[in-house]
Amino acid sequence: MSAELIDYDLIVIGGTAGGLSTAISSIRSGLKKVRVVEPGAAVAFPELVPENQVEVGYGEQLLGIDAEDDVVIVNTDQRTYRTRGCLVSRRHRDPNWTPPINAPLSEHVTVDALPEWLNDRDVLVVGHTNHAAELVAEAAAGGAGVVFAAGGLDPAKLAPAADAMLRRLERERRITVLYRSVPDEIGHDGEFPIAYFNDRRTPDLEFDHIVFASERCRPTVGELNVSQAAIDSGKLWFDGAPEDGIDVPNGHSWEVGNLLAAACFPELEPAEPPSVVRRRVRHESAINELREESYNATITAFEQRHSDLWVLRVRPDHGDTSHLPGQYASLGLGFWEDRVDNYADPGIDSKWHKLIRRSYSISHSMFEASGYLAPPDTEELEFYIVLVPADDDHVSALTPRLATKQVGDRIYLGPKVAGRYTLNAVQSPDTAVVFFATGTGEAPHNSMVTELLRKGHTGPIVSTVTVRNWQDLGYLDAHRHLEERFPNYHYIPMPTREPDVPKRYLQDLIRDGDIEMALGGTMDPSNTHAFLCGNPAMIGLPEEDENGETSYPETTGVIELLVERGFTIDRRNQPGNIHFEEYW
């Protein structure tokens, strides 16, 4: 061991995906003296070394790690380094690890070991870790045709170098990644192994070689000969906690570079790492696989009434969209989709590959291009949706993702249209019908009003909707047009935040007689049906306690006012003339 100390900013022990990532990000942040100490003859992704001018000591064995005056001293069989920061990112093979599926190991089915001769061989790599990405890159560099069965892989959890390498290999079509697939058995057809996937997506495939990427062990502090002074220095970091559980600063490969930089190099501008969502979205083929698997419909129209209020139309791939006016369907997008804002969904790591589903009333454009009233659509469904902005208390999930979509994009549409919020109870054409909505709660009413008018309803129809501003009335022109064509139809929009409009609520329309004026007579419960949709506070559903006592919410809702006038709530086993649909 040489006594001469050589000064470095950062020494990385182990040229693994995690180690290279930290070395590269540190060099890019401006550190001048960075060295990777690699005991073997090669690092994980050799092509990244010259590209990023990484200094590597190949075949250099670590002897121990110490610290003096807040500086880490790294001893190897070749030199002694004095460094401001040190990262241990070495991994060992765990001899006890076996594949988690039935896979008899052989010359052609191995753990961690690639065949010597790779050129033109078909190789399957099975795994979901940085180590699996290392094996994939090594096989591809050797000229193999590589399929990577990466079921369970979370692209956001890859070390940045592994992430970049996989995306590059895919872009250059040097590998095929099956992000969602993992074989559940390995068999043999004569000499060569076959991977049986037993899922709809992936056919059974024969390979020259199948290699499983093991879960490897981290070295212990004891094995590395680390002194207590080094542990206490705060400048020695581990990629993942060391195996003997000794409390040393550590972090996962995808974040440890940033943590270490913040702790050891305060002079560096902290690099803003891409958000977890962005890291996943960059893996386009992973996302495409999830989309292909989950989505079954296409967005055929996406009209912005304003930036946060949309009328969209959705066409399913199969099946028709028959429904009764007033019913709802479910729409879904994956948690993997990008958000329009910078909020992070709580618990996203465990659900990023899952679908978010929400119910949406089916709306309706009142007129066809010809000017006739439009019949219910059987090929597409129209929806009227508002962005629910996320805030610090609640991170809304679906609408901030829907906001990034456009015509032609794919979406999930639930197979069944549902709901008993329909016109079934309106049996006679001279019945008075009154609709009360908040915001996009007018969606089902638009379908119902069109249906009533199309069928020649003669009784008065009043549709009221409360919004904040005029611009929040997405169908205003169509309603005005309907009023011109049908004298028995009245639309009463109620913006509450316009300076020239007195602030009134739907409840005031009942109290002050506006509804009756529009109906041209009293609100007679014997010949009137009321439909209430949207904000539960407007609806004001009473609660019943165990003694059958009814209590209304503190703020009077429309139901309370209607019940005072002799109306009754329509329930599943008790028909009435107040129908409601709560949006939350």
Ligand X SMILES: Cc1cc2nc3c(=O)[nH]c(=O)nc-3n(C[C@H](O)[C@H](O)[C@H](O)COP(=O)(O)OP(=O)(O)OC[C@H]3O[C@@H](n4cnc5c(N)ncnc54)[C@H](O)[C@@H]3O)c2cc1C
- 366 to 385, contacts with ligand X by CB under 6 A? 383-385
| 349 neighbors 282 (Cβ within 8 angstroms) | no
**Nearer Cβ to ligand X (100/346):** 346
Residue 288 engages ligand X in binding (rule: CB under 6 A): no
Q: Nearest approach, Cβ of 94 to ligand X (angstroms)?
A: 42
Does 584 help bind ligand X (rule: CB under 6 A)? Answer: yes
Using CB under 6 A as the binding rule, whether residue 63 contacts ligand X is answered as: no
Angle separating helix axes 253-264 and 160-171, nearest 10 degrees: 130
Query: Rounded to an integer, what distance in angstroms lies between the CA atom of residue 395 and that of residue 390?
Result: 4
Binder to ligand X among 183, 251, 414, 439 (CB under 6 A)? Answer: 439
CA-CA distance, 12 to 33, in Å (whole number)? 11
| Residue 106 near residue 193, CB atoms below 8 Å | yes
Cβ(325)–Cβ(457) below 8 Å: no
> In angstroms, what is the minimal distance from the CB of 576 to ligand X?
19
Of residues 194, 388, 425, 453, which one binds ligand X by CB under 6 A? 388
Q: What is the dihedral of CA 49, 54, 55, 60, to 10 degrees?
A: -60
422 binding ligand X? (CB under 6 A): no
- Among 396, 422, 447, 528, the residue binding ligand X under the rule CB under 6 A is 396
The correct pick among 21, 76, 399, 447 for binding ligand X (CB under 6 A) is 399
The nearer residue to ligand X, 67 or 311, going by C-beta atoms, is: 311
Minimum Å gap between C-beta 421 and ligand X is 8
Segment interacting with ligand X, rule: CB under 6 A, options 151-159, 245-253, 288-296, 352-360: 352-360
Q: 10 Å Cβ neighbour count for 142?
A: 17
Among 11, 88, 114, 397, binds ligand X (CB under 6 A): 397
Applying CB under 6 A, among 106, 304, 359, 555 the residue interacting with ligand X is 359
For the stretch 552-567, what's the b/e string if a residue is b when 16 or more beta carbons lie within 10 angstroms of its beta carbon? eeeebbbbbbbbeeeb
Q: Toward ligand X, which CB reaches closer, 250 or 440?
A: 440
Select the residue interacting with ligand X from 91, 209, 358, 579 (CB under 6 A).
358
Question: Least distance to ligand X from the beta carbon of 328, Å?
Answer: 4
Q: Nearest distance from residue 502's CB to ligand X, in Å?
A: 23
Note whether 197 binds ligand X by CB under 6 A: no
Question: Which stretch of DSSP H or E encloses residue 315?
Answer: strand 309-316
Residue length of the chain: 584
Q: Does 443 bind ligand X (CB under 6 A)?
A: yes
DSSP 78-127: S-EEEEEEEEE---B--TT---SSB----SSEEES---S--TT-EEEEE-
The secondary element (H helix, E strand) that includes residue 443 is helix 443-454
User: Which is nearer to ligand X, 372 or 584 (by Cβ)?
Assistant: 584
Report the C-alpha dihedral over residues 473, 474, 477, 483, rounded to 10 degrees: -70
Residues 6+ apart with CB under 8 A from 116: none
Q: Does 507 bind ligand X (CB under 6 A)?
A: no
Ranges within 205-224 binding ligand X (CB under 6 A): none
Q: Determine the residue type at 569.
A: I
Place of tokens 């501008």: 269
Size of the site for ligand X (CB under 6 A): 20
Kindly tell me which residue out of 295, 335, 360, 436 binds ligand X, with binding defined by CB under 6 A. 360
Residues 315-334 that bind ligand X (CB under 6 A): 328
Which residue, 393 or 545, has its beta carbon nearer to ligand X? 393
The tokens for 504 are 């009134």
Does 440 sit near ligand X (CB under 6 A)? yes
Instruction: Tell me the C-alpha distance between 480 and 498, whole Å.
Output: 19
361 part of the interface to ligand X, by CB under 6 A: yes
Q: Is residue 515 classed as helix, strand or coil in its secondary structure?
A: helix
Which residues make up the interface to ligand X (CB under 6 A)? 328, 358-361, 383-386, 388, 396-399, 439-440, 443, 581, 583-584
